[in-house]
């Protein structure tokens, strides 16, 4: 893999008896493209269903067009403290760290332990979908679940406090349950790092669902499947991206378009060359285009102009795309896809290695890359 893919990082850990323990790999194209993604990594694992069982660990980010960007894969006998600590240490070797890095996952304790140990400078946020599922299991009323959803999603801390006090008034038990989990880990307004629109881990779960049928395959065949899948995706995305003439990605353009009509109804009062007061339904929001901030907090937390910022930008007759995060620029998106396509051109199918593996096995050479039988619990505590 590494000889055919420049920059690819792989590692295998074996035990004292020379038996397979863990495996990790990140394609060179993922490593190169990562710096053009948002500094957000969603982590999840899925059970393998081939003869030797085990789990497939996946890390993904989001690209400039708001699409899944696969970062790294790992295989272990189960999700536990040792396997995650090794996985994250390999991830760190492969892609390093980034400023304002945030990990997102379900509430599996081994993931949290691994992140704290290997990436102490990062923040670890949890998926609000999993938290919501826990509330439903606790038979919490739908009215309270709606309040929780609002509390998790709002941009301003003041609004979060209002929703939480509403929950406390209606259902004190659920309020206490929610407060057991620090709000920095699940509420957007309390997170010390930007979560953008990633309040759930559904991007990594949708990746899992794409790889569903691959879970039945022996490990090398599964890797082959993943590789082909990644090639298809990035080939399609590159072609799509090339046909777009906006100077921001099509996702960003769509997001801005949705806000323009509403932005045009707002009153704008310029304060100085960068700052404006923008009135929405009698409430004044201060927008600072230089600092890229707004009192509504959406501008700074999503790194996309909110309706108030769009109104302020429009008043000054400047391009709104200049105020989108540099990560979202189309040119960088194309740059990422070029790296991905280099994978397509440079990589030889892993089947080549598979055939070698099969022939070796036929000759009675010992297996070195299959997972050991899984003797751990099959249930995940999320
Ligand atoms: Zn705003």
Q: How far is the CA of 292 from the centre of ligand 1 (A)?
A: 10
At residue 333, the pLDDT reads: 59
At residue 114, the pLDDT reads: 98
Q: How far is the CA of 323 from the centre of ligand 1 (A)?
A: 13
List all residues 6 or more positions away from 324 whose beta carbon is below 8 Å from its beta carbon: 248, 252, 256, 303, 304, 305
Cα 59 versus chain centre, distance? 7
At residue 240, the pLDDT reads: 66
At residue 73, the pLDDT reads: 95
H helices present in the chain, as ranges = 28-34, 81-95, 109-118, 128-137, 142-153, 157-170, 172-180, 202-210, 219-242, 250-263, 298-302, 307-316, 330-346, 351-362
At residue 221, the pLDDT reads: 87
Q: How far is the CA of 296 from the centre of ligand 1 (A)?
A: 4
At residue 210, the pLDDT reads: 78
- Walk along the chain (382 residues) in steps of 10 and give the mean pLDDT of each run: 78 92 90 87 91 90 82 94 98 96 95 98 95 95 97 96 98 96 96 91 81 86 85 72 58 83 92 92 94 93 91 83 59 63 54 38 35 36 48
Show the tokens assigned to 61.
Answer: 């980010």
At residue 277, the pLDDT reads: 96
Q: How far is the CA of 308 from the centre of ligand 1 (A)?
A: 4
Q: How far is the CA of 345 from the centre of ligand 1 (A)?
A: 45
Q: How far is the CA of 210 from the centre of ligand 1 (A)?
A: 36
At residue 365, the pLDDT reads: 35
């Amino acid at each position: 893999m590494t000889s055919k893919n420049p920059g690819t990082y792989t590692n295998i850990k074996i035990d004292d008896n020379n038996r397979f323990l863990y495996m990790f790999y990140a394609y060179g194209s993922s490593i190169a493209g990562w710096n053009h993604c948002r500094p957000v990594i969603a982590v999840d694992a899925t059970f393998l269903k081939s003869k030797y069982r085990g789990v497939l660990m996946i890390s993904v980010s989001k690209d400039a067009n708001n699409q899944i960007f696969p970062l790294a894969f790992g295989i272990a006998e189960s999700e536990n403290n040792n396997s995650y600590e090794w996985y994250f240490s390999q991830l760190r070797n492969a892609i390093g760290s980034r400023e304002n890095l945030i990990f997102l996952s379900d509430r599996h304790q081994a993931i949290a332990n691994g992140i704290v140990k290997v990436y102490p400078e990062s923040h670890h946020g949890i998926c609000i979908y999993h938290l919501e599922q826990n509330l439903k299991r606790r038979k919490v009323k739908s009215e309270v679940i709606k309040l929780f959803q609002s509390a998790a999603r709002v941009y301003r801390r003041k609004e979060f406090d209002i929703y939480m006090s509403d929950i406390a008034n209606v259902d004190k038990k659920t309020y206490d349950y929610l407060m057991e989990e620090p709000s920095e880990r699940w509420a957007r307004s309390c997170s010390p790092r930007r979560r953008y629109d990633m309040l759930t881990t559904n991007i990594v779960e949708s990746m899992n669902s794409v790889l569903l049928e691959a879970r039945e395959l022996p490990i090398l065949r599964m890797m082959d499947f993943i590789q082909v899948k990644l090639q298809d995706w990035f080939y399609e995305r590159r072609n799509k991206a090339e046909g777009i003439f906006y100077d921001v990605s099509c996702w960003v353009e769509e997001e801005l378009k949705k806000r323009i009509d509403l932005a045009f109804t707002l009153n704008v009062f310029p304060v100085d060359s960068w700052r404006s007061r923008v009135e929405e339904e009698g409430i004044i929001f201060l927008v600072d285009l230089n600092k890229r901030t707004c009192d509504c907090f959406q501008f700074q937390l999503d790194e996309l102009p909110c309706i108030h910022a769009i109104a302020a930008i429009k008043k000054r007759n400047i391009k709104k795309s200049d105020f989108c995060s540099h990560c979202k620029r189309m040119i960088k998106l194309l740059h990422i896809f070029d790296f991905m396509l280099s994978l397509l051109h440079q990589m030889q199918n892993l089947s080549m290695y598979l055939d070698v593996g099969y022939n070796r096995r036929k000759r009675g050479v010992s297996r070195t890359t299959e997972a050991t039988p899984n003797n751990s619990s099959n249930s995940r505590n999320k």
